[in-house]
Amino acid sequence: MQRVKALPKDYQVVYKEIEKYLFSLASGSGLDTVAGLYQLIDFFEEGAAQGLAVLDYVGKDVGQFAEDYRRSLATDSWVEDQQHKLQSRIESKHNKMK
């Protein structure tokens, strides 16, 4: 993506790692994650425009930033997707026992 390539190298590295993280946890098709990635690019462009190093902008704990960002997107992860499926199966089987 051109916008990512236009970012400073430190931003590119962090973006690509966060992208991998978000997709590794995405549920379903991951399309909701794609929208979040565009927002992340916007955010990174702002930091780069201010001349900030990426770790000064997002903090030294990129893993925590990535998780906080994922949660802010209000999308289900594959874990939550599996939890919903589990709950649905239990409810269905429990109702059959009545």
For the segment 7-13, the average pLDDT, to the nearest whole number, is 98
Q: What is the pLDDT of residue 6?
A: 98
- pTM equals 0.76
Number of domains forming the structure of the chain: 1
Q: Residue 32 pLDDT > 80, yes or no? A: no
Q: Residue 13 pLDDT > 70, yes or no? A: yes
Range of the domain at 20: 2-97
Express each pLDDT in 45-98 by its tens digit: 999 999 999 999 999 999 999 999 988 887 666 677 778 788 888 888 888 887
The CATH number linked to 92 is: 1.10.1900.10
| Alpha-carbon span 79 to 61, nearest angstrom | 22
